[in-house]
Amino acid sequence: MKIELIENKIFINRGDSKEEIHPFWLRERLDGEEFLDKGTQQRLFDPSSMNCEVAVEKAKISDGFIEINFNDGASSRIDLNKLASEFSNKDTVIKSINKIKWDSTLKNVKNFEYKDNFFESKEMHDLLVSFYQYGFVIIKNVPTEDNFIVKFANSIGSVRRTNFGEHFNVRSKLNPNDLAYTTLHLTPHTDNPYRNPVPCIQLLHCIENEVSGGFSTLVDGYTVTENLKKDDPETYKVLSEVKVRFRFTDKNVVLEDWSELIHLDEEKNFKQVRFSPRLDYVPILEKNKLDFYYKARKKLSDLYNSEKNRIEFKLEPKDLMMMDNYRVLHGRTKFDPEEGKRFLQGCYIDFDSTEGKLRHLKRKFNL
Ligand SMILES: [Fe+2]
């Protein structure tokens, strides 16, 4: 990719094609002191209010910069590397990390170890890359005092508060408003499918765990649904087209949102799974359509609940797990509260937290 200059017209040469760059596109990117605030890197002028009929009067390329004089009197030197980075139109940080498919055979995923200055370290960068690859990550030795999970979340980005509070305590209690707060076996599910938007990432911090049961289980919704797309496209299609209603009620709130169980992006690629059989309501459709839908949902449920797709492990005190709630389903095996204490704390953050942190660390360490 190269920037070329021909008679005051500026071109981008991609090897197999050459296109003129609109002069106003370049005018918008002027970065001299009078155009750009150096501290914030925010514009000091408003291009949306300007006449876009602007032309290049004079231009010169030298030493990795292009110097341009426009016919409205503005002029500037623009860094060619900075310009080139804009031509892909794609996110080059998050989307460039390929998801790794996994099932019960998953082995040797790196655990990370909490230490001082963790959040500004190269280790944190590697942790976030691993999180985007696998959809979850475990950090050992995270302090447990004073609801440290909230500090942890706020050191990556910002806690996403919900009606369960800034953080929630997972232990069995009397009259629970959610099955999480019981000792029951929890089948694989994603959290809070009834919210708009659904919280992106769940953090779960083990404070105490003295029971022999209560294992954590994880299933990769990405792997399961990508395999389903290949093996049974009709089932995949109906699950990615029919929207169901998710609903949560308690005495203070009624939360409701509609979504497909497999939600795709504009290019029909994986974006999000929601699955919580305690909380979903299928719409009324023609009987034969519903017949097919129910079979499809059962097939997906069987895959999510299959041992082949599940990993199972015990969280030890001070372990903190981060899970992509749009990708990974979680659950737990039942436990006997007579054996001892089991106490976990949870909270949510959104993707802006992990994305913003990862871009910052890439910039910081020049990665
Ligand atoms: Fe949950």
Confidence at residue 155, expressed as pLDDT on a 0 to 100 scale: 98
CA–centroid distance, residue 245 to ligand 1 (Å): 18
CA–centroid distance, residue 155 to ligand 1 (Å): 23
- More reliable by pLDDT, 339 or 347: 347
CA atoms within 13 A on the CB side of 143: 11
CA–centroid distance, residue 263 to ligand 1 (Å): 19
Query: How far is residue 99's CA from residue 152's CA, in Å, rounded to a whole number?
Result: 24
**118, 124 Cβ separation under 8 angstroms:** yes
Q: Which residues pair with 3 in a beta bridge?
A: 12
Confidence at residue 274, expressed as pLDDT on a 0 to 100 scale: 98
User: Average pLDDT, stretch 191-196?
Assistant: 97
The residues near 273 (Cβ < 8 Å, ≥ 6 apart) are: 190, 221, 222, 225, 261, 262, 263, 326, 327, 329
CA–centroid distance, residue 178 to ligand 1 (Å): 9
CA–centroid distance, residue 143 to ligand 1 (Å): 22
CA–centroid distance, residue 281 to ligand 1 (Å): 18
Confidence at residue 183, expressed as pLDDT on a 0 to 100 scale: 83
CA–centroid distance, residue 332 to ligand 1 (Å): 9
Q: Which helix (DSSP H) or strand (DSSP E) does residue 75 occupy?
A: strand 75-79
Nearest CA-CA partner of 10 in 52, 61, 77: 61
Which residue carries 């475990």 as its tokens? 138
Q: By mean pLDDT, which of 159-163, 287-291, 319-323, 337-341 is the weakest?
A: 337-341
- What is the percent of the chain where pLDDT is above 70? 99
Residue 149 scores a pLDDT above 80: yes
Alpha carbon distances (Å) from 52 to 45, 58, 131, 345: 13, 18, 43, 54
CA–centroid distance, residue 225 to ligand 1 (Å): 20
CA–centroid distance, residue 189 to ligand 1 (Å): 6
Alpha carbon distances (Å) from 367 to 122, 133, 165: 10, 17, 36
CA–centroid distance, residue 190 to ligand 1 (Å): 6
- More reliable by pLDDT, 2 or 113: 113
CA–centroid distance, residue 346 to ligand 1 (Å): 9
Nearest CA-CA partner of 55 in 94, 99, 91, 23: 23
The string over 217-249, giving b where at least 16 C-beta atoms fall within 10 Å of a residue's C-beta and e elsewhere, is bbbbbbbbbbbbbeeeeebbebbbebebebebe
Beta strand residue intervals within 214-333, DSSP E? 216-220, 243-249, 254-260, 262-264, 270-273, 280-281, 310-313, 320-324, 328-332
Residue 174 scores a pLDDT above 70: no
Q: Which helix (DSSP H) or strand (DSSP E) does residue 326 occupy?
A: none
Which residue carries 């892909």 as its tokens? 88
CA–centroid distance, residue 274 to ligand 1 (Å): 12
Q: Which residues pair with 165 in a beta bridge?
A: 162
**265, 273 Cβ separation under 8 angstroms:** no
CA–centroid distance, residue 181 to ligand 1 (Å): 10
Nearest CA-CA partner of 297 in 311, 283, 308: 283
CA–centroid distance, residue 180 to ligand 1 (Å): 6
User: Average pLDDT, stretch 266-271?
Assistant: 96
Residue 173 scores a pLDDT above 80: no
CA–centroid distance, residue 359 to ligand 1 (Å): 28
Per-residue pLDDT tens digits for 127-142: 999 999 999 999 999 9
CA–centroid distance, residue 355 to ligand 1 (Å): 23
Per-residue pLDDT tens digits for 24-66: 999 999 888 899 998 999 999 999 999 999 999 999 999 999 9
Q: By mean pLDDT, which of 119-123, 180-184, 308-312 is the weakest?
A: 180-184
| Dihedral in degrees, nearest 10, Cα atoms 58, 61, 66, 72 | 0
CA atoms within 13 A on the CB side of 74: 23
The residues near 61 (Cβ < 8 Å, ≥ 6 apart) are: 3, 5, 67, 80
CA–centroid distance, residue 14 to ligand 1 (Å): 48
| Cis before 193? omega within 30 | no
CA–centroid distance, residue 186 to ligand 1 (Å): 8
Radius of gyration of the chain (CA): 25
